[in-house]
Amino acid sequence: MTEAELRKRLEHLRVDHRDLDAAIDALTAAGSTDQLQIARLKRRKLALRDQIGAIEDQLIPDIIA
C-alpha cells in the first residue's frame, strides 16, 4: 500500500473506532442488559485500536536515538 492509501485507511479506522466508542457509551447509558453485545463491541474496538497502531507504526519511521 502507498502512504496515501495507508493514511486513508487510518482515518477510516479512527472514525470506526470513535463510532464504536459512541455506541458502547450509548448502550451503557441506556442501561442495556445485553452485556454480550457490549463485550463484542469492546473487542471490535480493541481490534481496531491494534490495526490503527500497526498502520501508525508503518507510517512513522523508527528513530534511533
Q: Domain residue spans in the chain?
A: 3-58
Instruction: Tell whether the model's pLDDT for residue 62 goes beyond 80.
Output: no
**Each residue's pLDDT tens digit, 2-61:** 999 999 999 999 999 999 999 999 999 988 788 999 999 999 999 999 999 999 999 987
How many angstroms separate the CA atoms of 44 and 38, rounded? 10
pTM: 0.83
- Residue 2 falls in which region: left (phi positive, over 0), alpha (psi -120 to 50) or beta: beta
Spell out a b/e string for 48-58, using b for 16 or more CB atoms within 10 Å of the CB, else e: beeebeebeee
